Amino acid sequence: MKSRIIALVAMMVMAFTGSAFAGAIQVKGSTTVLPLMQKAAETFMKANPNVSISISGGGSSNGAKALIDGTTDIAMMSRDMKGGEIQKATDNGRKPVQFIVALDCIVPVVNPGNPVSRLSKAQLFGIYTGKITNWKDVGGDDSKIVVISRDTSSGTYDCWKSKVMKKDGKKHRVFPGALLQASNGAVAQAVSKNKKAIGYVGLAYLNKELKSVSVDGVSASVLTAKDGSYPISRGLNIYTPGEPSGEAKALLDYMMSPAGQKLAADTGFIPVK
């Protein structure tokens, strides 16, 4: 049955792209977008065996840098490109074109053994600026809070900073005592092993070893992301240097097709179509 499904999806890709392609595609950037890109690339290459797709993470900022310096055909980014990045790319003859391939929520997570299940944005701000240091101050046990954050090259960090760490019109940095991790997976693993820890991950990284925490009384979900009621949601982006063509365009067209959008849902993200 599984082989039949794979074959059917491959036929859908072939039908959608119209013909087989040959060549190589370099994809770099966001670890949040990575699992969706890996699934899309796997299916696309089954239908187009002469296409080789090389994918690496490293964070949204690394994706932007690779697009600027010409070492990637597609940049995965879980944030929008900054004005300075767009200008540098444009100056290099690689004017970025943006495509939103899915929606996502950034979800605060704790260890399942932690009794805390809801926090306000104000409480999250206090925890991540180092002003709230004990779980008892937010309804938990009397124990020190171990704060885990993404590193500053991450688009997830950038979104967290914009939507949680903003007060009185100013964006605040996560305090120096936080433990910085290079990927969503690393954050998830660290929180799952420490009952005192708190972190934040994209929807696709939620699992039974983590407990999601509601924000201002709203839980992260497809519905709350789409209707805007969940306060920490975002678009997941693909950037190409100029209008995409050839194999890159075919891959992007597949990701935006019904079959590609189903992959986004299957990965744990929210389809845009």
Q: What's the whole-model pTM score?
A: 0.81
Taking residues 80-93, what's their average pLDDT? 97
Beta strands 146-150; 197-202: pairing state: parallel
**What pLDDT, on a 0 to 100 scale, did the predictor assign at position 20?**
55
- The pLDDT confidence band at residue 6, using thresholds 50, 70 and 90, is very low
Higher pLDDT, 26 or 20: 26
**What pLDDT, on a 0 to 100 scale, did the predictor assign at position 169?**
86
Comparing 2-103+236-267 with 104-233, is the CATH topology the same?
yes
**What pLDDT, on a 0 to 100 scale, did the predictor assign at position 158?**
93
Residue 121 predicted with pLDDT over 90: yes
Residue 186: partners with Cβ closer than 8 Å, 6 or more residues away: none
Helix (H) or strand (E) holding 222: helix 222-226
Would you tell me how many other CB atoms lie within 10 Å of the CB of residue 213?
A: 21
**What pLDDT, on a 0 to 100 scale, did the predictor assign at position 22?**
62
The fold for domain 104-233 equals D-Maltodextrin-Binding Protein; domain 2 (3.40.190)
Taking residues 127-149, what's their average pLDDT? 98
Residue 142, CA atoms < 13 Å, CB-side half-sphere: 0
Secondary structure of residue 142 in the 3-state scheme: coil
pLDDT in tens, 187-238: 999 999 999 999 999 988 999 999 999 999 999 988 898 888 999 999 999 9
Tell which phi-psi region holds residue 246, choosing left (phi > 0), alpha (psi between -120 and 50) or beta: left
**What pLDDT, on a 0 to 100 scale, did the predictor assign at position 8?**
45
Domain ranges of the chain: 2-103+236-267, 104-233
- The pLDDT confidence band at residue 181, using thresholds 50, 70 and 90, is very high
Residue 243 predicted with pLDDT over 60: yes
Q: Helix, strand, coil: what percent of the chain each, to 5? A: 40, 25, 35
With a pLDDT cut of 70, the percent of the chain lying above it is: 92
Helix (H) or strand (E) holding 4: helix 2-17
Q: How far apart are CA 77 and CA 97, in angstroms?
A: 12
Taking residues 135-148, what's their average pLDDT? 98
Exposed/middle/buried for 145, CB within 10 Å: 0-12, 13-18, 19+?
Answer: buried
Q: How far apart are CA 132 and CA 207, in angstroms?
A: 26
Higher pLDDT, 143 or 268: 143
Q: How far apart are CA 95 and CA 90, in angstroms?
A: 4
* Arch. (CATH architecture) of 2-103+236-267: 3-Layer(aba) Sandwich (3.40)
43 near 263, Cβ under 8 Å? yes
Which residues are 127's β-sheet partners?
none
206 near 109, Cβ under 8 Å? yes
Beta strands 96-110; 233-241: pairing state: antiparallel
